[in-house]
């Protein structure tokens, strides 16, 4: 490795908003009062207004510019955060979402004056159906976990329509962390399902737990070990034979587009994370979008309204007696849906190539690092691979230390300590948008850290040293929470 | 394809390292039963230039943007967004970061969200706010579920009928699979406020939810709602769709609300056909461990420097799994940041002025419409929205005005089929974006049609 990839730049300190400014300043261009003042409200309805700091325009601009410089994003460098699919976010999407016809559109405009937005939503539904092979879609859920919740509500509504109430759900140990909480919100008790030695689920284990009290199964496929659940179709058949339903957490869809047919595989409901697979920026914690696709028999239960195509144009269908109802005011995160539409239209059938290159990149990292770090499953993986700190412990070095040292070398760390089935896990998802040269740099950095772990472990313990702040005291933050400033 | 850097030589060299003969061989773990039988039926790729043309033509079919005047709120409000907000918010260090799991390289997001939580708590008069929920409607649903958790076995919640109809529908959706029950309190047909008289007959209540200003624009008597609710040993959940109102009105917290939740789109976020918006959520510190959603806390680094981290994660799904206070993971982080920028841009002085201007604009339009023979349906004071009984035949006139790019309010009959007084009732909205000229033009256009 030829020197370091990161240096300490000119990083400014910056106060909190309310530590700045002076009463009487403003950064807002207040419209002139062109109407007479109205009668004051009755005294009981008059408040004092919030205690916000008064700042000038430049003060606000500098504040957020400085804050932004303390952040690492995909545009800064490689962001191999496993199961988060941090691929490049095309810049054109921001421009498209800001078109005034969309950005300033009121959601309750009549259908005749909203045809563009409705057409876009209808086409996105159709394209999601084409990618999955499933029969119907709803774009309403606002994030992946919201999609999971929607899926569990669909399960519940289906069983009610059959005159049944099933209160158990099978969730593998390699599923995403939100799955049990989503099921619990629908009054279902998650039943833990262990994956096999080979990191995937086996039909016998499912058959042993599946019964007619169990609503079905929630499988993340590819799973959080980066492995394809090869027995999915047999497992789905077992669940269906007991009258259950099959949910697929599609957060890892980036691995299998153009290869997998969700319907053939036996999936009844799945969700997408548009902010992962279809490259809408994650925004430091959202907004995302978590559309769900379903098989025909569950279509009547999808949230309302649904966008439909009728003679003469696109319309919002609200009449659906079996529907679970509304999940979101209006129609969901339209501005996010628009970016996903643009991404899919930019790639079309080349989405298959996206998955191929994502899987190739992950395997390249796996093959390059497996002799340096303990690997959870030493075989061909999908879009991500999972290493651990097993052979670093003797040096007194942990996964956390490796992650923090990567920061000093100019990379965002992988997902750490997840999945829980691997102690000290490091889950690496490079995505397809990284070039082989960038992967080589990451691999070199990881090898260097492996060497440092043996020779100078304190470099790892003391990392990161080049960031604006060093390791933070998370225990104190939780023990005596300070969640609101200036009190 | 410009997003994919791999050359054919790269692919061969990488396959060699992996030890596989072809790209297809990477997918050998996929059994036939899971595979597609046909390629994905997707339209051919568009270039960046064709994509722009296509999207512009779709956007052009919308009655939005310049040339259109929309006097309609109902949970989505037209407000000026200062140019600095999209500019700063668009910095890719903010947009292309994930949830701040690695705090040392995420201090920008973390401080911005900590500031958002603080400004939100001040706006709502509460002790603590979370990092955001999906939208106002799901925030209300989660607020009520939180009240149930705090209610020690109480199984019912009561919702005012004057809460946004979509919000009530979302609450029904969240509650349908549970054993908990949603009751409704009707609207007083004279004042337009919630009629609390039915509360006495309701036992086992964990929460009472009221929206103020409510869906009809009427400002509710929150103080009475609080005392009635507390009298029934239930928490008061205060909802809102227009947070700018708290520039003038007493904050829900100062009135005694226990949980405050609503939609923050008004604070610097484009309407964008209804989303992404911002679910704002605040509560009392005593209840914080039952609060849903992510939360950022202040701490120190190993050098004693101030810094911020995601905290209280023991409430969350990745640790508590099915016992979590919510399943929410990704939220509306960037929208929360936008609203913090907006609150900082307005300042304490600015928000009062802007709120007063909204009240004045709405009062002007209301008076002008009353001059045409429209009559107020309710007597309660309003902020920037109001409900009027229209003159005969207004429905047809409204349709006609739309062709001229004017949207004259929202008809309420379809949203409240259960209330006969909503026949011919329309909900209007005027914010600071409505100039006197535009309002006069609307009134003249209606007058012209009425003649």
Q: Does residue B358 belong to the interface with chain A, where contact is any CB pair within 8 Å? A: no
Report the pLDDT value the prediction gives residue A486, as an integer from 0 to 100.
86
- Mean predicted lDDT score pLDDT of chain A: 96
Report the pLDDT value the prediction gives residue B326, as an integer from 0 to 100.
86
- Mean predicted lDDT score pLDDT of chain B: 96
Read off the pLDDT band of B317 (50, 70, 90). low
CB pairs under 8 A between A and B: 716
Q: Does residue B94 belong to the interface with chain A, where contact is any CB pair within 8 Å? A: yes
Instruction: List chain B residues with CB under 8 Å of A404.
Output: 104
Contact criterion met (CB < 8 Å) for B317 and A47: no
* pLDDT tens digits for range B43-100: 999 999 999 999 999 999 888 776 789 999 999 999 999 999 999 999 999 999 999 9
Mean pLDDT of B175-183: 96
pTM, 2 dp: 0.97
Range in B123-127, B244-248, B324-328, B382-386 with the lowest mean pLDDT: B324-328
Mean pLDDT of B416-433: 95
Report the pLDDT value the prediction gives residue A307, as an integer from 0 to 100.
97
Alpha carbon B261 to its chain centroid, in Å, reads: 9
Q: Does residue B117 belong to the interface with chain A, where contact is any CB pair within 8 Å? A: yes
Report the residue from A145, A413, A485 with minimal CB separation from B118. A485
Report the pLDDT value the prediction gives residue A487, as an integer from 0 to 100.
63
Is it the case that residue A66 has pLDDT exceeding 80? yes
Domains of chain A are 95-348 (3.40.640.10), 351-469 (3.90.1150.10)
Report the pLDDT value the prediction gives residue B64, as an integer from 0 to 100.
74
The DSSP result for A365-379, as a single string, is: HHHHHTTTSEESS-S
Domain ranges of chain B: 69-81+347-450, 84-342
Residue of chain B whose alpha carbon sits nearest to that of A349: B42
Contact criterion met (CB < 8 Å) for B170 and A53: no
Mean pLDDT of B138-157: 97
Helix (H, G, I), strand (E, B) or coil at A226: coil
Counting residues of chain A whose pLDDT is more than 90, the rounded percentage is 95
Residue of chain A whose alpha carbon sits nearest to that of B139: A328
Report the pLDDT value the prediction gives residue A357, as an integer from 0 to 100.
98
Range in B241-250, B341-350, B412-421 with the lowest mean pLDDT: B412-421
Alpha-carbon span A201 to B137, nearest angstrom? 38
* Beta-ladder partners of A136: A294
DSSP conformation class of A260: B
**Across B224-373, where does the E strand assignment appear?**
235-240, 259-263, 279-283, 296-300, 306-310
Mean pLDDT of B216-224: 98
DSSP conformation class of B28: T
Helix (H, G, I), strand (E, B) or coil at B256: coil
Q: Which two tokens stand for residue B252?
A: 């829900």
Q: What's the topology of domain B84-342?
A: 3.40.640
User: Is the CA virtual torsion B228, B232, B235, B240 positive or negative?
Assistant: negative
Q: Which two tokens stand for residue B410?
A: 């929202």
**Across B276-384, where does the E strand assignment appear?**
279-283, 296-300, 306-310, 375-376
Instruction: List chain B residues with CB under 8 Å of A342.
Output: 51, 55
Question: Is the backbone of residue A252 left (phi > 0), alpha (psi -120 to 50) or beta?
Answer: alpha
Alpha-carbon span A467 to A9, nearest angstrom? 9
Q: How many angstroms separate the Cα of B286 from the Cα of each of A265, A479, B195, B315, B325?
A: 48, 14, 30, 14, 15
Range in A252-266, A469-483, B58-72, B120-134 with the lowest mean pLDDT: B58-72
Alpha-carbon span B20 to B335, nearest angstrom? 45
Contact criterion met (CB < 8 Å) for A105 and B62: yes
10 Å CB burial of residue A461 (0-12, 13-18, 19+) is middle
Report the pLDDT value the prediction gives residue B63, as an integer from 0 to 100.
81
Q: Does residue B341 belong to the interface with chain A, where contact is any CB pair within 8 Å? A: yes
CA-based nearest distance A339→chain B, Å = 11
Contact criterion met (CB < 8 Å) for B90 and A94: yes
Q: Does residue B83 belong to the interface with chain A, where contact is any CB pair within 8 Å? A: no
Q: Which two tokens stand for residue B216?
A: 């009809």
Q: How many angstroms separate the Cα of A247 from the Cα of each of A222, A270, A294, A366, A382?
A: 13, 6, 9, 29, 20
Report the residue from B56, B97, B176 with minimal CB separation from A284. B97
Contact criterion met (CB < 8 Å) for B348 and A474: no
Q: Architecture of domain B69-81+347-450 in CATH?
A: Alpha-Beta Complex (3.90)
Alpha-carbon span B173 to B193, nearest angstrom? 25
Is it the case that residue A133 has pLDDT exceeding 80? yes
Alpha-carbon span B170 to A95, nearest angstrom? 31
Is it the case that residue B390 has pLDDT exceeding 60? yes
The pairing of beta strand B69-70 with beta strand B128-129? unpaired
Widest CA span of chain B, in angstroms?
83
Contact criterion met (CB < 8 Å) for B347 and A53: yes
Report the pLDDT value the prediction gives residue B325, as an integer from 0 to 100.
80
Contact criterion met (CB < 8 Å) for B348 and A183: no
Report the pLDDT value the prediction gives residue A3, as an integer from 0 to 100.
57
Report the residue from B173, B249, B363 with minimal CB separation from A324. B173
Residues 6 or more apart in contact with residue A429 via CB below 8 angstroms: A80, A81, A82, A83, A84, A85, A86, A226, A362, A383, A384, A414, A415
Report the pLDDT value the prediction gives residue A356, as an integer from 0 to 100.
98
Within 13 A of B167's CA, how many CA atoms are on the CB side? Answer: 33
Helix (H, G, I), strand (E, B) or coil at B230: helix
Report the pLDDT value the prediction gives residue A5, as an integer from 0 to 100.
72
Counting residues of chain A whose pLDDT is more than 70, the rounded percentage is 99
A5 vs A78 pLDDT, higher one: A78
* pLDDT tens digits for range A389-401: 999 999 999 999 9
What is the predicted ipTM? 0.97
CA-based nearest distance B424→chain A, Å = 17
Alpha-carbon span A462 to A474, nearest angstrom? 16
Contact criterion met (CB < 8 Å) for B311 and A477: yes
Contact criterion met (CB < 8 Å) for A117 and B273: yes
* Helix residue ranges per DSSP H, A18-169: 57-69, 92-97, 100-103, 115-132, 144-161
10 Å CB burial of residue A30 (0-12, 13-18, 19+) is middle
Contact criterion met (CB < 8 Å) for B333 and A330: no
Q: Which of A442, A331, A12 is nearest to B135 (CA)?
A: A331
Residues 6 or more apart in contact with residue A397 via CB below 8 angstroms: A389, A453, A457, A460, A461
* pLDDT tens digits for range B335-380: 999 999 999 999 999 999 999 999 999 999 999 999 999 999 999 9
Question: Is the backbone of residue A258 left (phi > 0), alpha (psi -120 to 50) or beta?
Answer: left
Helix (H, G, I), strand (E, B) or coil at B336: helix
């Amino acid at each position: 490795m030829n020197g370091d990839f990161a240096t300490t730049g000119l990083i400014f300190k910056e106060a909190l908003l309310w530590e700045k400014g002076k009463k009487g300043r403003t950064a807002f261009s207040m419209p002139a009062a062109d109407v007479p003042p109205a009668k004051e409200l009755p005294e009981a309805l008059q408040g004092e207004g919030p205690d916000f700091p008064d700042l000038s325009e430049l003060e606000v601009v500098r504040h957020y510019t400085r804050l932004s410089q303390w952040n690492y994003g995909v545009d800064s460098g490689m962001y191999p955060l496993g199961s988060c699919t941090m691929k490049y976010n095309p810049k054109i999407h921001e421009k498209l979402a800001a078109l005034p016809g969309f950005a300033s559109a009121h959601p309750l405009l009549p259908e005749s004056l909203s045809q563009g937005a409705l057409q876009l939503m209808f086409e996105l539904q159709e394209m999601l159906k084409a990618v999955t092979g499933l029969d119907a879609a709803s774009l309403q859920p606002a994030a992946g976990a919201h999609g999971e919740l929607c899926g569990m509500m669909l399960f519940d509504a289906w069983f009610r329509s059959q005159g049944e109430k099933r209160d158990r759900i099978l969730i593998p140990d390699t599923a995403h962390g939100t799955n049990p909480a989503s099921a619990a919100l629908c009054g279902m008790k998650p039943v833990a399902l262990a994956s096999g030695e080979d990191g995937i689920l086996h039909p016998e284990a499912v058959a042993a737990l599946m019964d007619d009290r169990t609503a079905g199964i929630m499988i993340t496929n590819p799973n959080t070990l980066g492995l394809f659940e090869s027995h999915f179709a047999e497992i789905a058949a077992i669940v269906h034979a007991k009258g259950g339903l099959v949910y697929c957490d599609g957060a890892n869809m980036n691995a299998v587009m153009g290869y997998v047919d969700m319907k053939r595989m036996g999936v009844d409901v799945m969700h997408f994370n548009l902010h992962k697979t279809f490259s809408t920026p994650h925004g430091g914690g959202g907004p995302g979008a978590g559309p769900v696709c379903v098989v025909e028999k569950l279509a009547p239960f999808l949230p309302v309204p649904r966008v439909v195509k009728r003679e003469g144009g696109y319309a919002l269908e609200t009449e659906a007696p079996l529907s679970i109802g509304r999940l979101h005011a209006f129609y969901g995160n339209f501005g996010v849906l628009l970016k996903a539409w643009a991404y899919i239209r930019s790639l079309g059938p080349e989405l298959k190539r996206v998955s191929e290159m994502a899987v190739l990149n992950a395997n390249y990292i796996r093959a390059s690092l497996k002799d340096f770090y303990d690997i959870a499953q030493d075989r061909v993986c999908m879009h991500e691979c999972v290493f651990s700190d097993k052979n670093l412990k003797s040096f007194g070095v942990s996964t956390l230390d490796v992650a923090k040292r990567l920061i000093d070398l100019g990379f965002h760390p992988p997902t750490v300590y997840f999945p829980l089935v691997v102690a000290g896990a490091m889950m690496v998802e490079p995505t397809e948008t990284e070039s082989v040269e960038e992967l080589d740099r990451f691999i070199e950095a990881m090898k260097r850290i492996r060497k440092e772990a043996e020779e100078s472990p304190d470099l790892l313990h003391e990392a990161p040293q080049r960031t604006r702040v060093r390791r933070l005291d998370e225990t104190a933050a939780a023990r005596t929470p300070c969640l609101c400033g200036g009190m | 394809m410009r997003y994919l850097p791999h050359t054919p030589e790269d692919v061969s060299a990488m396959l060699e390292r992996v030890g596989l003969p072809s790209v297809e061989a990477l997918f050998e773990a996929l059994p036939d039963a899971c595979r597609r039988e046909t390629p994905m039926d997707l339209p051919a790729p568009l270039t960046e230039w064709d994509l722009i043309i296509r999207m512009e033509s779709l956007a052009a079919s919308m009655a939005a943007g310049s040339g259109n005047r929309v006097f309609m709120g109902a949970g989505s409000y037209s407000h000026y967004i200062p140019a600095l907000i999209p500019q700063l918010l668009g910095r890719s260090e903010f947009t292309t970061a994930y949830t701040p799991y690695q705090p040392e390289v995420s201090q920008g997001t973390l401080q911005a969200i900590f500031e958002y939580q603080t400004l939100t708590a001040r706006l709502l008069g509460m002790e603590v706010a979370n990092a955001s929920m999906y939208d106002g409607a799901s925030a209300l649903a989660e607020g009520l579920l939180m009240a149930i958790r705090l209610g020690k076995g109480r199984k019912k919640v009561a919702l005012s009928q004057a809460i946004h109809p979509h919000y009530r529908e979302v609450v029904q959706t969240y509650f349908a699979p549970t054993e908990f029950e949603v009751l409704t309190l009707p609207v007083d047909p004279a004042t337009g406020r919630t009629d609390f008289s039915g509360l006495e007959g309701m036992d086992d209540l964990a929460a009472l939810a009221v929206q103020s200003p409510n869906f009809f624009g009427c400002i509710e008597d929150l103080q009475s709602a609080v005392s009635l609710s507390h009298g029934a040993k239930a928490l008061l959940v205060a909802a809102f769709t227009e947070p700018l109102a708290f520039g003038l009105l007493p904050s829900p917290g100062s009135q005694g609300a226990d949980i405050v939740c609503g939609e923050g789109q008004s604070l610097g976020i484009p309407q964008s056909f209804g989303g992404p918006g911002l679910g704002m959520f605040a509560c009392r510190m005593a209840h914080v461990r039952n609060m849903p959603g992510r939360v950022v806390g202040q701490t120190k680094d190993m050098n004693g420097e101030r810094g911020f981290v995601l905290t209280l994660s023991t409430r969350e799904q990745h640790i508590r799994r099915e016992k979590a206070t919510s399943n929410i993971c990704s939220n509306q982080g960037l929208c929360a940041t936008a609203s913090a920028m907006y609150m900082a841009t307005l300042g304490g002085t600015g928000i009062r002025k802007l709120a007063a201007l909204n009240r004045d604009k709405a009062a002007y339009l209301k008076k002008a419409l009353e001059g045409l023979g429209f009559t107020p349906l309710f007597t309660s004071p309003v902020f920037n929205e109001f409900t009027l009984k229209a003159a005969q035949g207004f429905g047809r006139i409204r349709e006609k005005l739309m062709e001229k790019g004017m949207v004259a309010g929202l008809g309420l009959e379809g949203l409240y089929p259960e209330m006969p007084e909503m026949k011919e009732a329309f909900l209007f909205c005027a914010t600071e974006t409505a100039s006197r000229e535009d309002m006069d033009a609307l009134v003249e256009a209606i007058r012209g049609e009425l003649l």
